[in-house]
């Protein structure tokens, strides 16, 4: 079990593990792409960005980039282009698109919210928090914005404030899987993997739980050393090859950094000091 002190010291490592799993999935997706000729139009005509394969994301970036160049003031195109860039790992370019869109649509809540997420994706957390808060309307609070603000607060090391907002979001949208998963991630960042798993498993069991929710569950299960179970969860969304690649990458990362040994050693020292 993580100690609270060790958890804070390893929060970035855990986030890197999640990023590593996503990268592994992307690489595996490129190797196992089953795209058809018509996929570009489908990818740009309504399919959720998070449900796109690596090949679809790449093609969508090209198609949307051309549409954006023709009309950079178009809100729908700009938002979708920025989201695809973000999913492709091009955070700086996504932020540049959103910054221009936020100037053009300076009072649009949806644009401001997306701008805040783009800022957070680029590591600019304080400006991201400001943008998301400006997008919020206190008299008619939006649960999505509450969850987004909470996620930023978590990254700023303010878990109590973040969890209060997650619970407000859940009051407005009970059992919303994305909020439950984010709440689980809040506990993961603090090293409480058991509580994190409880929330993520609940999120995964909800009818609206999507691939990202289940991949978060696979991550937290894998971080507890239950690699076979993590691979089984991941394989519900990915091909067997992708699932194995993700778990192998996570296992390798943890092994190389000797994370569990460090944690156990600190636990032992802490117990010795309290006796």
Together in a domain, 28 and 64: no
Which stretches of the chain score pLDDT less than 70? 1-47, 50-51, 253-275
Q: Judge whether 153 lies within some domain.
A: no
Q: Please count the structural domains in the chain.
A: 2
The pTM of this model reads 0.72
The predicted structure's pLDDT at residue 266: 56
The predicted structure's pLDDT at residue 100: 95
Q: How confident is the model over 161-187, as pLDDT tens digits?
A: 999 999 999 999 999 999 999 999 999
The predicted structure's pLDDT at residue 103: 95
The predicted structure's pLDDT at residue 26: 28
**Alpha-carbon distances, residue 259 vs 125, 141, 165, 219, 244 (angstroms):** 27, 40, 31, 15, 21
By residue range, what is the domain housing residue 256?
1-32+159-265
The predicted structure's pLDDT at residue 47: 66
Candidates 199, 197, 196; CA nearest to 170 is 199
Together in a domain, 165 and 261: yes
The predicted structure's pLDDT at residue 25: 33
Instruction: Point out the domain boundary residue: 135, 151, 167.
Output: 135
Tokens representing residue 233 in the block: 């969860």
The predicted structure's pLDDT at residue 175: 95
The predicted structure's pLDDT at residue 82: 93
Tokens representing residue 133 in the block: 């808060």
């Amino acid at each position: 079990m993580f100690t609270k002190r060790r958890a804070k010291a390893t929060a970035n490592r855990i986030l890197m593990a999640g990023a590593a799993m996503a990268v592994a999935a992307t690489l595996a997706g490129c190797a196992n792409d089953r795209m058809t000729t018509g996929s570009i139009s489908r990818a740009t005509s309504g399919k959720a960005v998070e449900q796109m394969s690596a090949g679809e994301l790449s093609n969508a970036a090209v198609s949307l980039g051309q549409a954006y160049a023709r009309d950079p003031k178009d809100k729908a195109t700009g938002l979708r282009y920025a989201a695809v860039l973000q999913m492709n790992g091009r955070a700086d370019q996504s932020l540049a698109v959103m910054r221009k869109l936020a100037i053009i649509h300076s009072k649009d809540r949806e644009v401001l919210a997306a701008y805040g997420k783009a800022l957070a994706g680029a590591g600019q957390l304080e400006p991201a928090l400001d943008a998301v808060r400006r997008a919020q309307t206190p008299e008619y609070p939006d649960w999505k914005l509450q969850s987004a603000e909470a996620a930023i607060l978590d990254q700023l090391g303010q878990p109590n404030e973040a969890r209060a907002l997650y619970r407000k979001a859940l009051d407005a949208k009970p059992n919303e899987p994305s909020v439950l998963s984010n709440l689980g991630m809040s506990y993961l960042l603090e090293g409480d993997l058991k509580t994190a798993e409880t929330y993520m498993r609940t999120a995964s069991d909800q009818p609206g739980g999507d691939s990202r929710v289940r991949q978060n569950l696979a991550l937290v299960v894998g971080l507890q050393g239950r690699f076979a179970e993590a691979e089984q969860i991941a394989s519900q969304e990915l091909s067997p090859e992708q699932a194995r690649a993700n778990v192998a990458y996570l296992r390798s990362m943890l092994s190389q950094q000797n994370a569990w040994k460090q944690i156990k050693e600190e636990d032992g020292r802490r117990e010795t000091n309290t006796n």
